[in-house]
Amino acid sequence: MSLSGRLNTMDLPEVLQWVTIGRKTGTLAFVRDKTKVYLYLRDGKIISSRSNDPTKQLGQFLLFQGKVTESQLKKAFELHLQSRVLLGKILVQENMVSKEDVQKALITRAEEIIYDLFLWEDGYFHFMSQEFNVDELMLILIEVDINSLLFEGIRRKDEWVRIRSVFPNNDVIPSLRSDADVKSLSLTPLQKKLLYLLTLKRPISEIILELRGSDFLVNYELFQLYKMNLIEINEAIRPPAEPESPAKLFNKGLELMQSQQYQDAISVFQEVIRLDPQNAWASEQIEQAEKALCQEYYRGAIPAGKTPYFLIPESSLTRYHLTHEEGFIASRINGTWDIKSIVMLSPLRELEILQVIDKLLKMGLIALK
């Protein structure tokens, strides 16, 4: 038995209660824009989860928690590619983290993937009742109580409303108040990192990227600092988008795919999904276009095994007005990490990383060896 719909007509608690009460076994998929989330169920219980959001990968999650460093994660990724042993097992075998830390991170990550779904205002879901092979999918088995998730998810949704009343979107630029007294406060390590980033006056979206965190977790901590009267807010307003016909846009995207104008096609299909989250075909076309563009880069100007290095002093990068994403990738260029390593270690999509590398090459800032 299958079930499909949109979250604005059947909300997430209803969907989760339906699979729980019916003791369903199968895969529950959610799609919104570029994000895809999969929950794997057996007899109504969530036994594993997966998301294509780079910040929800185990390595990025451990970086956000401060459990590993980028250098440690790079080494673990290399061993994973050589041996195909799961990343979590390698991290434990190499004594980078404890088995308990990995298990806790896996469970917390699975919960965060689901909690994020509660914040979706809309999206498409589809349940397929079928058995799945845990080994073939390389799933990490977990035990998650759906009732506890529902309680926490609903609490977060209510909290999110309060957060968004202060930070309407992630284009808001929070900054540290000039009269803020932080010396007398007891702050968490994450809040201390946030205080430093606040002095740089960056949008929340850039802070999230820098910390490798999720929308909720970073916004929540910023909200705590706001309640402590440590933050003042400058908001960057985005211009409203004009609505267009999803069907007309989809056909335009197909024409662009046929003419191999993949980047333009991606932009069109993303707009289709924004207007029609249930359009799985547009999502599939985006995946195909991104894969095609990545392969073009790897076959051409950016071979995966090449190592980028700077042609200019790194201290002069500020003259080139790089975006935060570009600056983040540039900061990972050290003359020893190859393209493959930079892609694995960055909390950005593969295509976005390759596009930044390509831009830096064309600007004459870096070369490959």
Does 298 have pLDDT greater than 90?
A: yes
Does 277 have pLDDT greater than 70?
A: yes
The reply to whether 149 falls in a domain is yes
What's the N-to-C CA distance of the chain in angstroms?
54
Cα Rg, the chain, nearest whole Å: 22
What pLDDT was estimated at residue 304? Answer: 92
* Average pLDDT score over the chain: 86
What pLDDT was estimated at residue 250? Answer: 84
As a whole number of angstroms, the distance between CA 348 and CA 337 comes to 17
User: Over pLDDT 70: what percentage of the chain?
Assistant: 95
Over residues 60-72, mean pLDDT: 86
- What is the maximal distance between C-alpha atoms in the chain? 62
As a whole number of angstroms, the distance between CA 156 and CA 119 comes to 8
* Band of residue 138 on the pLDDT scale cut at 50, 70, 90: low
Instruction: Please name every residue paired with 35 in a beta bridge, in sequence order, or none if there are none.
Output: 32
The reply to whether 209 falls in a domain is yes
Does 207 or 245 have the greater pLDDT score?
207
The reply to whether 239 falls in a domain is no
What pLDDT was estimated at residue 328? Answer: 87
Pick from 21, 61, 27: nearest CA to 46: 27
- Range with the poorest average pLDDT among 52-56, 73-77, 118-122: 52-56
* Residues 199, 334 within the same domain: no
The reply to whether 241 falls in a domain is no
337-341 long-range contacts, CB within 8 A, separation 24+: 337/74, 337/307, 337/308, 338/304, 338/305, 338/306, 338/307, 339/302, 339/303, 339/304, 339/305, 339/306, 339/307, 339/308, 339/368, 340/304, 340/305, 341/74, 341/77, 341/78
Instruction: Name the domain boundary from 192, 212, 234.
Output: 234
* Residues 20, 155 within the same domain: yes
Q: Which of 39-43, 135-139, 275-279, 280-284 has the highest mean pLDDT?
A: 39-43
Cβ-proximal residues to 323 (8 Å cutoff; 6+ apart), any chain: none
* Residues 80, 148 within the same domain: yes
* Residues 12, 53 within the same domain: yes
Segments forming the whole domain that contains residue 218: 167-234
The reply to whether 347 falls in a domain is yes
The reply to whether 28 falls in a domain is yes
Does 237 have pLDDT greater than 80?
A: no
As a whole number of angstroms, the distance between CA 91 and CA 68 comes to 9
What pLDDT was estimated at residue 136? Answer: 67
Instruction: Name the domain boundary from 160, 175, 202.
Output: 160
* Model confidence pLDDT, tens digit, residues 314-349: 888 888 888 888 888 998 898 889 998 898 888 888
* Residues 196, 317 within the same domain: no
Pick from 358, 365, 356, 364: nearest CA to 299: 358
What pLDDT was estimated at residue 104? Answer: 85
Strands 173-176 and 231-234: what pairing? Answer: antiparallel
Does 169 have pLDDT greater than 70?
A: yes
* Residues 9, 156 within the same domain: yes
* Residues 222, 89 within the same domain: no
The reply to whether 193 falls in a domain is yes
* Residues 86, 7 within the same domain: yes
* Residues 279, 230 within the same domain: no
* Residues 79, 10 within the same domain: yes
Element (H, E) at 165: helix 146-166
The reply to whether 24 falls in a domain is yes
In the chain, the number of structural domains is 4
* Residues 56, 155 within the same domain: yes
List, as one string, the DSSP characters of 314-356: GGGGGGG---HHHHHHHTT--SSS-HHHHHHH-SS-HHHHHHH
* Residues 16, 147 within the same domain: yes
Does 358 have pLDDT greater than 90?
A: yes
